[in-house]
Amino acid sequence: MGSKEAPFIELPLKIQSDPMESMHRHEDENRLPDGFEDYYREQFGPRWPQLLSSLLEPSTRVDRLNAFFESIPTPPAKSMDASWSTMPGVCHAFRVAHALHDPRRDARGLLETYRMDPASMIAASALEVQPGDRVLDMCAAPGGKSLLLAEAMGDAGRLVANELSPTRRAKLKTILEDYLPGEQRKHIQVTGHDATRWGLHEPDHYDRVLLDAPCSSERHVLGKEKERARWKPGRSKQLSRRQYALLCAALGACKPGGRIVYATCALSRLENDGVVERLLKRKGDQCVKWQTSFPEPFVEATEHGWRILPDHSDGWGPMYWSILQKRTGAML
């Protein structure tokens, strides 16, 4: 078990949000699923009204510069003004303050920037991938976190980016092709396996495992009428069963001494600390929580991990993550 302080990342000023994410927010925001408010008010208490309000706002995105783009690290020539600024601690990240920006392509056809939630960058960076590592991204689509892992891995090591859904896997392949040069993609394998069985097929194999698990994704639910209609109070409990199975598989696939980051964009404790707690109770002889700290004021410590919620972070998240280390000598 180790202890290390994560790099400080400054809390940004208000970032221009993507209006497409909540085009009809104002007309739909009062039509919440039956039982939704009661379920989350019980967990968040007096904080819930402010948190709900922030969830109904457009989510924050940053444009992160592609480390493989040929002209890094300078910002785009057309944007050398106050609308762009660096984000210390996040690889080549720039944020759009006033206008949306369409990325350019370099001579090889690689796109310059990738738009994503900065909270996702922090969660993926917590894995601390090193050059030469064998890395597994168990639920990789759409691909933003895989890009971060590939950059950290460099040209030494191997990344397996897995996605069960054929549609999402096709999107993942497109993202990797748009952002990574051919020589880098030689170190990456895209697969479509049921990740719950990974530990059986490649036990004790990976130095680092990222499990960004399928989850309730409440912010996404609130933004789409079809998803709101499908939400039920028992959804988190149902999802937590698969999340636990996936986390057990991640533990099985990880090398002794290796590290796992379990992450979701869910609010429910059942899907976050609850899943990690279950693993520690049942398989605590095989893994331990990795001790570190995140000094940013908007990162909140939980019982078994950390989270970023939009009401305290100017629109970031939600994002939860926990870091686990497989015990040396642990056998599954």
pLDDT tens digits along 140-187: 999 999 999 999 998 889 999 999 999 999 999 999 999 999 999 999
In this structure, is residue 201 part of a structural domain?
Answer: yes
Tokens of 264: 């979701």
Domain of 218 in residue numbering reads as 3-326
Helix or strand run (H / E) with residue 124: helix 118-125
In this structure, is residue 199 part of a structural domain?
Answer: yes
In this structure, is residue 310 part of a structural domain?
Answer: yes
Distance between CA atoms of residues 110 and 168, nearest Å:
20
In this structure, is residue 332 part of a structural domain?
Answer: no
Of 249, 109, 117, the residue nearest 176 (C-alpha): 109
CB under 8 Å to 82, separation ≥6 — which residues? 97, 98
Q: Measuring CA to CA, how many Å separate 32 from each of 2, 41, 74, 225, 227?
A: 43, 13, 44, 9, 11
Query: Active site residue: 91, 139, 215, 265, which one?
Result: 265
- Looking at the structure of the chain, the number of domains it has is 1
**Residue 71 sits in a domain of what CATH number?**
3.40.50.150
In this structure, is residue 217 part of a structural domain?
Answer: yes
DSSP result, 242-262: HHHHHHHHHHHHEEEEEEEEE
Of 120, 110, 81, the residue nearest 98 (C-alpha): 81
CB under 8 Å to 35, separation ≥6 — which residues? 232, 233
Query: Does residue 16 carry a pLDDT above 60?
Result: no
Tens digits of per-residue pLDDT, 235-290? 999 999 999 999 999 999 999 999 999 999 999 999 999 999 999 999 999 999 99
In this structure, is residue 122 part of a structural domain?
Answer: yes
In this structure, is residue 331 part of a structural domain?
Answer: no
Length of the chain: 332
Q: Is 254 a catalytic residue?
A: no
CB under 8 Å to 38, separation ≥6 — which residues? none
In this structure, is residue 293 part of a structural domain?
Answer: yes
Q: What is the dihedral of CA 228, 229, 230, 236, to 10 degrees?
A: 40
Q: Tell me, what's the pLDDT at 27? A: 44
Q: Tell me, what's the pLDDT at 96? A: 57
